Structure formats: structure tokens, C-alpha cells
Structure 1
Amino acid sequence: MDKERLAKIANAIVAPGKGILAADESSPTIKKRFDTIDVASTEENRRAYRDLLFTTEGVEAFISGVILFDETMRQTSNNGTPFPQLLERKNILPGIKVDKGAKALAGFDGEKVTEGLDGLRERLGEYAAMGARFAKWRAVITIGEGIPTRYCMDANAHALARYAALCQEAGIVPIVEPEVLMNGDHDISRCRDATAATLKRLYEALFEHCVYLEGTLLKPNMVISGMDCPRQAGAEEIAEATVGCFRQVVPAAVPGIVFLSGGQSPVQATENLNAINALGKQPWALSFSYGRALQEHTLKAWQGESANVEAAQRAFFHRAKCNSAARRGEYTPAMEET
């Protein structure tokens, strides 16, 4: 394990003012995204869409890394350049989603465990040779009656830790993503309790597996009200609950936290990230790893038409710029009018 190299990559991903574009949607997920704009999810359409994202001029000022799906890792830009090389030339680090998805956890109704450990060592070696500098593995934790259970948290923490150790063995920075879902009518307090318990068990497992924390990143949910909760917490309350929770359970050795956007709208995800950073300096960099929150407006502008590529790129650039400002706690609603 080259600890110095891993730490250098992790810190580069959370460089000031920069964050991650999560463009690692699986085939079923990107089909759902394309369905919203009535575009067929063909391999060429998926390639063309990712190409417009990656070739957006100047976006490297705000985006430090891109998480790719296996298909995308093997595709090329319009000029024939493999996407990993295209990104590297723009000083954007290419990453790869390596989990095989969350599946029902046998014996535990309503809970899931993420699969994909079989053959992972060999896959990571291939991805490293293709240019991957970091990877991502997502675990799913659901809040409901009697859940999450300790066993579900343990099973997912164990998988995340095994994945992280294999990544570091291959010279790849692991992003560990234990997502406590927004689905449900739970309040922000219940989310905080579930998030704290999940993260506590995760870091116990990472320690047990001898994972070098300085060469990792955490991709968690924000502490936020459930989608169906009658009382929705505001940005300041979300920020205070999130930072307060993480200061109790996330080791200071971790270089950065790159929040997922979950079910938040693009503007809400930016507002909440801004409120979090407005609280001041924390032990870790507080950044973003957004998928839909960076792409929703881009997709609507694109509509699958080559004539709309420039408009779509402007929409993507704008959202990336807004989230870059939120990283500094300097985002304002007036930025949405420019």
C-alpha cells in the first residue's frame, strides 16, 4: 500500500472549491433519467450524454473527480479519446463504481445488503490499469419500524470495509458510501440517530480491516427529515444536525466528506451544503458528490438533441459553479438568476 499516494489522491478530490460528479448511474437508473425526457437509453445516447458532461469547457475549476459506470469507463469521446484519459487531461480524476447493487437481506424484511465482493480484487486491478484513481461502493440503510437493525448495519459495514481494503491494495482510493435513505416519514432526530449508529459501526469495521483512513473519503447522507415527514427541517437545522453528528463519529484522519444529494432538489442540495460550510472550518473538508443534483437541469436542457449540447453544458457548468460556492459557504440565491 502506497499510503502517501492514496492520501494525495484523496486530498486532491476534496481540493478547495471542488467536488465530484457522480455519473455512475447503472443502466436501469439512467434509463429512468432518460425516460423523463423521452430519450431512448441506448449505448450511443448514454455515451453522447456523458460526453457532453465531460467536455464542458471550464468545469474542471469546480469538478475534481467523476465517478464512472463500467460501460462509461470503456467508452470514448467524440474525438476517440477514452473517457478516463479525457478527464485526466482536464485535471479531473476518473473514478469507478464497483458494487453490484443492494439486494434484499435474507431474514430481515425491508433491509438490504450490497453485493459485489466476489472477483473484486481482479476487477480493481483492471480498473486501475484503465486509469481509475478512486472507487465507490454504496450501502443502503432504511429507516422504518424496527429498522435499521444492528445486523444490517454490521453486514454493510463489513462489506464496505472489505471493499476499502481491496481498493487500497490496488492503489485506488475508496469512497465509502453508507446512505441512510430519505424515504419515510421519520423526523430529523431519527435520521441523526440512524446515521450516527451506521457511521460508528462503519469506522469500527474500517479499523478492524486495517484501512488507512487518510487514504479514504466518506460519502454520506446529510442528516435530514424523511421525505414524508410533516415537518421538514430547514437548511440551518440540517447543517447543525449534520455537523454535530459527524463530529461525534467521523475520525479527523478522514480527509474529506463528499455528501450525496439523495432525494433533494438541485437547489436544496446546494443550499444545504452551503449552510454546512457556513458553520466554519471542521476536521474534514466538506464537499459534494452529486448525481441528479448536478444533472437534472442538464438533462432537461439537452433533451437528447445535439443542437442542445451547448445549452445543456451551460446548465451543468452553472450547477457545478453554485456548488463550488457552497463549498466555501458563499452561495446565495441570487446566483440562480445569473
Structure 2
Amino acid sequence: MAFEIRDRHGASRSVAYLLSAAAPFVIATGHLLDRGTSIPVKIAVVVIAVALALGAWVCWTRPHVLPDLFFWSAPLIATTVISGLNLITEDSSTGSQLFYLWPVLYAANFLSRRVIYLNLIALSTGDAMVVIIALRAPTGFADWISMTIALIMTAIVVYTLRDRADQLRRKLEDQAFADPLTGLANRRAFDDALSVAGRLGGPLAVVTIDLDHFKGINDTYGHAAGDDALQVVAAAMREVAREDDVVARFGGDEFVILLRADQPGALRAVTRLQKAVAADTTLPSGPPGLSIGVAVLPDHAANVEDLVRASDSALYTAKSNGRGRVAVAVTPPAPAPPRASLPVR
């Protein structure tokens, strides 16, 4: 997104740190170090310092009350303030220009490329106004070019490191939420998806799948053949699933599909899965048999936790009835109406 915030919590902490440091700095430079200032100026300095401290407190303890606009515009505001103060004081020293590092580091860490570009343009413009007016050309021009290049390189390095860290984080998240053998979602990822789906409402089906006699495949043809059988079933599940469905491996030879479907839709998906597995010709053991349990919300359960249990119970029924079968969960009986109490005489 053009104006996204990568880490709102980190951004609020960064602004809080800046304001926390700025409050005593304003007091020190505007009051304690300049004893000749008038009373109104001293009062104004104190008011500004208190406002900065209050802003730091809000960013630290109540960041949720601040709009996103505040956080992505913070470096532009800081750049404007720094340039304005340097221009008023005609201070073009390296020390005064180093204050530009905060908006550069903040934007490169937390904001999108577009805001980073805008901030660098604002920084370069503000610094040009200060150093060219204060130092005069050509000294000011050379100093402006040097500072602009240094700030751009700083932004590039920080943004590159941030992008690399994001890639590593995404890779770790994929590993944490994926089954290493089949590449399907694991139990943790399935539970998260189930929780989200339950909050969204609407018809929801859970199909629990178990490979029949999987131990016999491992014992007869070896564990490599067993792994191949699991991957064949996983590939068939991906083929059957739609974009918004979730296919997962719970562990061992047990799989599950989370479908946005009613009972007829879930059974159609089961039929396609059976056909896809039966069509495989690569396994030395032949296509594995599947025992399948189907449960649908709200037909067979009141919530998503009960839905998983109902599907698992249906799977047990399918296996008890001879394996290689599909069983649908039993609709729970309606609660009996409360008995009318007899009047007390």
C-alpha cells in the first residue's frame, strides 16, 4: 500500500522516544542555557516542552487513539521542524544536520517506499534552504550535496536490511505453519484459520481424512513409499480445494479440509478427492483407501470446536464400518423444552 505502516507498535515507540528526548532538550536549550530570554519566551518554552512530554506519554501508553495519518506524516513533520529551527538560528553545522537522521531512520524502518521518497525530498529541500542561505554558494551547495547523498545512502541501507529481515520472518512463518513433508498447513495454521472462519460465520464444513492401513504400506513397501502415499493424498486435496479453503495435515496419516460449503458441497468435494486419489498410478502399493468424516456448521455443531469433534467422530464411524467409507456426522438432537413447574399449593 502507498501509505502503509509496517509496525505500528514500533512506530509509536520511536515517536515516543523522540518526544521524550526533545522535551528536556527544549528546556535545556531554550531556558537553562539562555538566561537572557524574556518571561513570555520562557513560558512558551515550558509549554512546548510539556506538550512534547504529553505527546510522548500518549505515544507510549495510548497509541491506539492516534490515527495512522499521524504516524506516516511524523517524519515529514520532524523534517519541517528541524529545517525551520536550523533556518531561524542559521545553524548549518554538522551537529544540527544530524537531527535529520531520525526522520530518515524512522521512515526507512516503518513506512512505505513512497513516504520514504517524499521524506528524502523534504529533507533535501529543507537542508538546501538552510546551508545555501547560511553558507552561501559554492560552500553551501557542496555541503548540501554531501548531506543529501549521505541521507539517501542511509535510507537505502536501512530499507534493504528491513526488507531482508521481512523475507526471513516470512520464511520462518511459513516453516512454522507448514507441514515439512507435504507442504500443507499444519495443525497450528489450521486452528488459526478455523478460528477466523468461525468469526466470519456462514456455512462451514470440516472433512477429516485418514489413510486406510497406512502402517501396512510402511511395513510392506518401506517408509519412502508411505511418504509418497501421503504426498499423493496431499496433492489430491490441493486439487479439490478452492482458493478460500484450507487443507492441512494433522500428523501421521490424518488430514483435514476446511471448506466454505454446506453438506452437499462438502460431499461433492469428497467425491472429487476420492476420484483424484484413485486415479494415481505412481504408488507401488496402489492408491490408498480413504476413510472420511464430514461435519457441517451449523447442522452438526454449535461452534467450530464442536465441528472438529463432530467430523472426527464421523471419521471414527467410517473406520468402524469397514474403512474406505464416507460418514456424515449425526445431527445433535434438539434440546428438550423445559418442563412446566406445577403450582405450589
TM-score of the two chains, using structure 2 as the length reference: 0.23
Q: Which structure features the higher share of strand residues?
A: 1
